Amino acid sequence: MNKKLRSPLTCLVLAVVLISCRQLTAPEYIDVADVQVSGKSLTNTTLSANVRLYNPNKSNLVFKSGNLDIFVDNRLLGHTELDSTIYISKLDTFQIPVDVQVDINNVIGNALSLAMKDSVLLRIEGKIRIGKSGVFITRPVRYEQKERLNLF
């Protein structure tokens, strides 16, 4: 048995397995692009955008799903369920299309104070499912960053 463990091929296979089992790092938030507001009424408003992220991992990943809450200045803007497969290149940026049903009560109560500011605190919290080689794990997401408002 000891001779099998000392075999160069066994050592190589063991090294590859250990290296490939590295901890996956959650993608890093870059910004939000292509924001569009649509809806037939104030109570039925949808916010669509592309959330741009960076994959800091040294391997390609697959994004499977996610649940995110979006906050603006610590007020819940809305919740989104992401259920699409996105292939992510290693050490590269990528986009996730997001559609959020806007909680209009929180937006109306905050609209005047938002209009007076040149930037807001954007916070995204939730969980995403990412993986590689058919093995998927759930990673927490918590991004918080000041974003400039271009209202005028």
Reported as a single tens digit per residue, the pLDDT across 58-95 is: 889 898 999 989 888 888 888 889 888 889 999 999 99
What pLDDT is stored for residue 1 in this prediction? 47
What does pTM read for this prediction?
A: 0.69
Q: How many CA atoms lie within 13 A of 139 on its CB side?
A: 18
Residue 44 tokens, joined? 């039925």
Amino acid at residue number 116: M
> Hey, which bits of the chain come out as E strands?
28-41, 44-54, 61-72, 75-82, 86-88, 93-102, 119-132, 135-148
Residue 19 has pLDDT above 70, yes or no: no
What pLDDT is stored for residue 96 in this prediction? 87
What pLDDT is stored for residue 21 in this prediction? 56
> What fold is seen in the domain 25-148?
Immunoglobulin-like (2.60.40)
Residue 132 tokens, joined? 């590689």
The pLDDT-based confidence of 142 (bands split at 50, 70, 90) is confident
